[in-house]
Structures are given as C-alpha cells and as structure tokens.
Chain A
C-alpha cells in the first residue's frame, strides 16, 4: 500500500472522530431549535466515545472476556469509562428534554431567538 493510503487507514478513526465532533459542535451552536441542539449534543458525546475506544483496540485481539483459547485482548479500561459516559449522557439528554418541554409551555416556542426575544420583552 502506498504511504498515503497506509496513513489514511491508520488514522481514519481519528479523522471521522474529528468530523463528528465538529459536526456536533456546529449543530449545538448554529441551530436555533432546541431539540436539534440536543441531538447535536448527543452527536458530540458519541464522537467522544469513539475517541476513547479507538486507541484501546488491538488488531488481532478480541473482546476482553477471558477465555482459554484467546491470549490477546483489547484494552478493557476505556470500555468501563465509556459505559459510565453513555449512561451519564442519557441522563443529561433526559434532563435537557424535560427543560425543553417546560420552556415550550412557558414561551410557546422552542426556537432560541424567539425565546430570548420573549424574555427581553417580559
């Protein structure tokens, strides 16, 4: 394989992680609709999971469940951290959605600029 192709395969995970992180960040900042912001936040969180899990993978290894016929295992420590992170992420999203529902009841809209304008007029 040519060196450029090898470099691409070696770090493809990182490129996609960066793209997903930037896409999630853009969705949170640029979009006004609050539900879309929360979806963007969820995209951002998932890209961070990918960032943590990629260095733990060992080519030729297997899942970290000890069995007699395997002797190379992937690193179990990032798995533990990301398991916690996924659950904390869903907790954040649930709270965010509850807040969006209350904002809609109070202001009648969930577009951020309209909520700010209504807040200024109060």
Chain B
C-alpha cells in the first residue's frame, strides 16, 4: 500500500476515479470514511492508500424508488456493499446480476451526472 497524502489520491467523492482508504501507522487499523485520526486507537497522522478495487459482494439491493429526479432516470439501479480485499467495506453501485459472495472489481461510471464507483464480476 502506498503512503500517499490523501489530497493526491483519486477519490470518487471528489469526482475522481478512485476509492481512497486510510490506515493507522500505530495499530494497523484500516478504514473508509476520511478523518484525521484513527477511529480505533486515536493515533494521529493516518496514511492514505488507494483501494486496489477488488472485493466480495456482501449485500445487494435493486433500487426502484429513487430519491430525486437525477436518480429517477436510472431506476432500477443496484447498490451493493462490498468487502474490499483491504478489509474495508464500501457502498457502491453494481451490476444488477451480482449475487452475495461474488468476487468483484470496481470501475467508475457516470451515473446520475456523477462519477461513481461501480462493481462488476471480476
């Protein structure tokens, strides 16, 4: 895993084609939601690392009732929870034919006007 400053990592939440993770240099804990400290042990200065993009499907739902007009144009769309190989869970879009337990790989697609993570069978 790289030791790249977070600001330089591709991060879909900023419109870029990547999933950015963080890891603790003190206790080794890895996590997804960005913060300036380790939520497990409280140590500061976590390192940032790009997710390799591989993982396993843990949950899947096909959304038929969208929250707004932008997503209404996309229904039905599949949302998935994926356990990444790095041991971190992420929520993303996915192919509707996925089933729990599938090995998957991420790509990034323009959905409802935003570049979003999308998983397909590896």
> Do A and B actually bind?
no
Binding site for A on B (CB under 8 A): none
A binding-site residues for B, Cβ under 8 Å: none
